[in-house]
Every structure is written in C-alpha cells, then in structure tokens.
Structure 1
Amino acid sequence: MNAYVNQEILNNIATIEFFHPEKNSLPSHILAQLVETINSVGNNDVVKVIILKSGGDKTFCAGASFQELISINDAATGKIFFSGFANVINAMRKCPKFIIGRIQGKTVGGGVGIAAATDYCMATQFAAIKLSELNVGIGPFVVSPAIERKMGVSAMSQIAIDANTFYEATWAREKGLYASVFESIEEMDEAVQKFAEHLCTYNPEAMLEMKKIFWRGTEDWDNLLAERAAISGRLVLSDFTKETLKKFK
C-alpha cells in the first residue's frame, strides 16, 4: 500500500489516519499532509472532536523516515526535515478541538512526540514506547518538549538516555502519556469511539477554553521547536550519525 493521510468526518467526529508501509514512519510529505489535515478539520465548524490514528494493527509510528535521514547532506535540509515534526506538534497544540490519540502498537521517536501532543491518549498493551534518537547520534530535541509536558522531566530523560529500551504501555500510563491501556485493539476502539461521542455532548466553547488552559506556557514553541529542529539538522550531519545511518541502507 502507498503512504497516505486520510480524514473522515462522521457525527461531528473527525478521524485522521496516517499510514506508511515502513512501519508508519513519517517522511516530510506525510508530516506536511498531517499539518494540513489537522488545520483543516480543526477549523471545520462541523467537527467537535478529533481522533488521530495510524493504519494497520501493529506499529503506531516508527518515527522519522530513515531513508530520508540518510539523504540529508546539509544543515538547512536537516532543519527543514525535523521542522516537519515541529509543525505537526504545533498544529496539534494550536488546534481548537480536543485531539484523542489512538495508539495500537509500538511507537518510536517522533511517534512518541505525536502521542504526547494529543490532548487525551488511549493505547493497547502492545503500545510500548522508545526514544531511539541518541542511538543514531541525534536526540529527541524536537519532540522532547511535548513529552516533558505530558510525562515530566524525569520520565522523559529516562527514556531519552535509555535509547535502546522499549518501555511498556503500562509504564507510559503510569507516567501520564496514556490515560488508559486496553488488552486489545477492539476494546480500545470501542472506548475511543464512546469517549469521542461523549465529548461531542459538551459545550464546544468550554472545550476550546479548556484546551487553551491545558497548553498555557507553550506560546514560545513556534520558535523553540524551530531551534530544536536546527540542532537535529546539524547533528544528523555528524560522522557518528552518518556512519550509523549507513547500517539502515
């Protein structure tokens, strides 16, 4: 199957689904489509709640596209690539609607940042998380503000430093990333749908004002995440990272 970003609006609920055949990794064009779609449904008066999900029944998101990382040859291109993740997180942050995350399986790197940028996140027991960036000589610079906001500095630094370990979904729930963890995708989907339908009965103006409060203190993220993207864009050119990425060719 080809990569895609799809949207569906039904009964005031917008469902955004992204997919990539390489374990739902996120190349630049998919990141750009996600930003466009989040902005579009967020500004649609028909929509009261958004569900964000990925295709397939295994990996939620493998993070950055290694094929695209390998092709980066200058800092400007690197900054542009990592800005794709910054743009998605900022679109989610600024979106006037609550975004419910639906995490069916393992999520790595940028995928953890996207899960953390949702307003409410549900997962299955298979949705372990890992920040693997340090393994390739970079670091989770762009996504760490969103993860730190949701899980705290201690949990974020733990998984950022221990870059070779998957942390179980129950651990992620204990640290605040997931609100609930379910034994199966079917149970999770039922809960996500029921929760979204219930949110649709709330006052949209009240939810908007609540979202503003939840994200208070992140007003500088347009600049902050751009600065972080520049750091990653520079480090991806290091000899260490270039040699490491060759293993993924």
Structure 2
Amino acid sequence: MEPYVKTFTEDRVVTVEFFHPAGNALPASLLDELAQAIQQAGEAADSAVVVLRSGGNRAFCAGASLTELAAIENEEKGESFFLGFANVINAMRLCPKFIIARTQGKAVGGGVGLLAAADYCLSTHHAAIKLSELTVGIGPFVIEPAVRRKIGLAATSHLTINATEFKTAIWAWQKGLYDDVLETTEELDEHVASIAQQLAAYDPQSMRRMKQVFWEGTDHWDDLLRQRASVSGSLVRSKFAQKALSEILSRMKSK
C-alpha cells in the first residue's frame, strides 16, 4: 500500500490515521500531512474529540524514515526534516480538543514523541517503546520535551540511554505514558471508542479550557522545538550518523 494520512468523522469524533509500509515510519511528506490533519481536526466544527491512530496491525510508528535521514544533504535540510516532528507535536499541543492515541504495536523514536503529545493514550501489550536515536548519532532532541513532560526526567533519561532496549507496554503504563493496556486489538478499539464517545458528549468549551490547563508552561515550545530541530539537523550530517545509518540500511536490504 502507498503511504497516507486520512481523516474521517463519526459521532463528533475525528479519527486521524497515518500509514507507511515501512513500519509506519514518518518521512517529511507524511509529517507535513499529519500536522495539517491534526490542525484541521482541531478546527472542525462538527467534532469534539480526536483519535490518532496508525494503519496496519503491527507497529504503531517506527519513527523517522531512516532512508530519508540518510539522504539529508546539509544541516538546513536536516533541520527542515526534524521540524516536521516539531510541527506535529505543536499541532497536537495546540489542538483545542483532547487527542486519544490508539497504540496497537511498537513505537520507536518519534513515534514515542507522538504518544507523549497525546492527551490520553491506550495500548495493547504489544506496544513496547524505545528511543533509539543515540544509536545513530542523533538523540531524541525534538521529542524530548513532550516525553519528559509525560513520564518525567528519570524515565526519559532511562529510555534515551538504553537506546537499544525496548521497554514493555506495562513499563510505559507504570511511567504514565499509557493510560491503560489492553490484551487484544479488539479490546483496544472498544476502549478507544468508549472513551471517545464519552468525551464527545461533554461540553467542548470545558474540555478546551481543561486542555489549556494541562499544557500550561509550554507556550515557548514553538521556539524550543525549532532549536532542537536545528541540533538534530546538524548531528544527522556527522560522520558517525551517516556511517550508522548506512550500516542499518545495508542490513535491512540484505534481509
């Protein structure tokens, strides 16, 4: 299947779904579409809540597209790429409606950032998480503010330093990233639908005000995440990063 971002609305619930055949990885084009879709979902007059999900039955999101990272030619283009993640996180932060993340499988790197930027997050036991950025010479600079806001500095440091290790969905739940962990995808979808329907029945203005309270202290994130994107854009052109990315892509091709 071709990559996509699509949106549909039912019973005052807007669902934003993204898909990429490479484990729902996010190239720049999908990041741009995703940020726009979330912004439009927040502005839609016929809805009260947003559900963020990915297509397929396996990974929720593999993070940044490694192919695209390896092809970055200079620091300016690197910054532009990482601004894509910054724009999605800021769109989620500024969306006046609660965002529920539906997490059916593993989340890596930027995928963890998306989950951390959601207001409510539900998963299955298959939804392990990992911040692998240090292994390719970058670091989770852009998503770090969102992750730290959700699970705290200690857990964020643990994920960042243990860059090759997946942490279980239960670990993520214990740290506050997930609000509940379900056994099956069917149970996950039932729970997501139930929470979304409950919220859709509430007063939009009170939810808008409450979301503003939850996100107090983040007004500087437009500038902060741009600065972080600049750091990542510089590091991705390092010899270490380019060598690491080349080796990973070679291994992937040989499988």
Which TM-score applies when normalising by structure 1? 0.99
The alignment covers a number of residue pairs equal to 249
1:213 aligned to 2:223? no
Cα distance in 2 between the residues matched to 1:76 and 1:150 = 30
1:113 aligned to 2:150? no
For 1:69, the equivalent position in structure 2 comes to: 69
**Pairing 1:90-129 to 2, within 5 Å after superposition:** 90-129=90-129
Task: Give 3-state SS (helix, strand or coil) of 1:58's partner.
Answer: coil
1:161 aligned to 2:146? no
Identity over aligned pairs, percent:
51
Letter in 1 for 2:109: G
1:107 Cα deviation from its structure 2 partner: 0.4
Cα distance in 2 between the residues matched to 1:40 and 1:245 = 34
Cα distance in 1 between the residues matched to 2:9 and 2:89 = 22
1:167 Cα deviation from its structure 2 partner: 0.1
For 1:150, the equivalent position in structure 2 comes to: 150
Task: Give 3-state SS (helix, strand or coil) of 2:18's partner.
Answer: strand
Cα distance in 2 between the residues matched to 1:163 and 1:233 = 19
Cα distance in 1 between the residues matched to 2:30 and 2:147 = 21
1:19 aligned to 2:12? no
Letter in 1 for 2:63: G
For 1:175, the equivalent position in structure 2 comes to: 175
Deviating beyond 3 angstroms after TM superposition, the runs of 4 or more aligned structure 1 residues are: none
1:103 Cα deviation from its structure 2 partner: 0.3
Cα distance in 1 between the residues matched to 2:31 and 2:243 = 26
For 2:253, the equivalent position in structure 1 comes to: none
Task: Give 3-state SS (helix, strand or coil) of 2:126's partner.
Answer: coil
Letter in 2 for 1:79: E
1:232 Cα deviation from its structure 2 partner: 0.3
1:198 Cα deviation from its structure 2 partner: 0.6
Cα distance in 2 between the residues matched to 1:83 and 1:200 = 31
Task: Give 3-state SS (helix, strand or coil) of 1:152's partner.
Answer: helix
For 2:32, the equivalent position in structure 1 comes to: 32
1:45 Cα deviation from its structure 2 partner: 1.1
For 2:238, the equivalent position in structure 1 comes to: 238
Aligned CA RMSD, in angstroms, stands at 0.5
Deviation sequence 1:24-81 (CA, Å, 0-9, x none): 0000000000011111111011110000000001000000001100111100000000
Letter in 1 for 2:82: F
Letter in 2 for 1:92: M
Letter in 1 for 2:25: S
1:226 aligned to 2:203? no
Letter in 2 for 1:213: V
Letter in 1 for 2:31: L
Cα distance in 2 between the residues matched to 1:40 and 1:203 = 20
Cα distance in 2 between the residues matched to 1:106 and 1:200 = 28
Structure 2 segments unaligned to the other structure (5+ residues)? 251-255
Letter in 2 for 1:119: D
Which TM-score applies when normalising by structure 2? 0.97
